[in-house]
Chain A
Amino acid sequence: MSEPKVSVQKQPEAKQHEVIVKTVVASVVVVATNVVGNYALSRGMHEVGVVESWSPMAYIHTFTHPWVAVGVVFMVAWLGSRLALLSWADLSYVVPVTSFSYVLSAVVAVIYLREHVSALRWAGIAVITVGVALVALTYPETPELYHEAPVEGEEVRE
């Protein structure tokens, strides 16, 4: 027998639905915490100015700036939610889908910071959005790899 035993085992439909809902919720949290965290950090760092010192106290002092502190809290939340998402979703799904944060950051820059957006940057926003949509159409995990279905086909075949 050359057929692997369990590697094409499908997840039940209810489980698939649960995975998709969890993935959407976690992805939204990852993107939102990233955008808010980056905005707060960059605003805080601009207000603090360039830190030109090798003294650790100078760096610790920047963390007491309210915007920097808010930024750090959101970046920790970003890291945590991203790890949670990776506990079931493929890396090749998470990396492109969560880069939608670039699009949101650009939109935030236009609305709140009144930055000018060139035609080239609008093209970039459009291309990222199409790419994210394409990856988001795929099922987030490679089920037979990790869950309920240990792939033992190879050993069995020996």
Chain B
Amino acid sequence: MIALLVALVVIPGTAGDLLNSAGMKRHGEINDWSPSGLLKLCWDLVRNPLIMGGIPAMAVSFFALMALLSATDLSFAVPMTAASYVLETGLAKYMLKEQVDWRRWTGTVLVAVGVALLSM
């Protein structure tokens, strides 16, 4: 049960981030911050299949985290999600073709370790 919840936090959370990132890159850099520009942006995103897949995936991850937190300790649940940072960075490099240099790798690992320490 706990393992299933961890999987439901990490896998949809990571997939959601990858989909959202790919979807926003496909949309292109946002430069129009006027109300009408943002309204048009919302309309574009509703029709963007990557974003429409990414947001529900993140919602699944969020509710699974809530369930995990009510079933286990914070000190177990949070390091699990922190480990997914490293996974996401690896997938961003290989699937999204991002340039991940040593500073990003080291920084991401430090952040994951720090988040785990915080929850202890």
Say which residue of B17, B51, B109 sits within 8 Å of A131 (CB atoms): B109
Which of A87, A93, A127, A134 has the most chain B CB atoms closer than 10 A to its own CB?
A87
Name B's interface SS.
helix
Give the residues in chain B near A147, CB-CB below 8 Å: 28-29
Nearest CB to that of B91 among chain A residues? Answer: A91
Q: Interface size for chain B: under 10, 10 to 19, 20 to 34, or 35 or more residues?
A: 35 or more
Task: Kindly state the separation between the CA atoms of A136 and B107 in the bound complex, as whole angstroms.
Answer: 9
Report the minimal beta-carbon distance from B39 to chain A, rounded to whole angstroms: 12
Q: How far is the CA of A156 from the CA of B108 in the complex (A)?
A: 36
Cβ of A135 and Cβ of B108 under 8 Å apart?
A: yes
A contact set with B: CB distance below 8 Å: 79, 82-84, 86-88, 90-96, 99, 102, 106, 118, 120-121, 123-138, 142, 145-147
Which residues of B does A touch, CB under 8 Å? 17-18, 20-21, 24-25, 27-30, 45, 51, 55, 58, 85, 88-89, 92-93, 96-101, 103-104, 106-120
**17 other contacts beyond A84-B30, A91-B96, with CB at 8 A cut-off?**
A79-B58, A83-B45, A87-B28, A87-B30, A91-B88, A91-B89, A92-B93, A92-B98, A93-B104, A95-B92, A96-B85, A96-B104, A96-B107, A99-B115, A127-B111, A128-B114, A138-B103
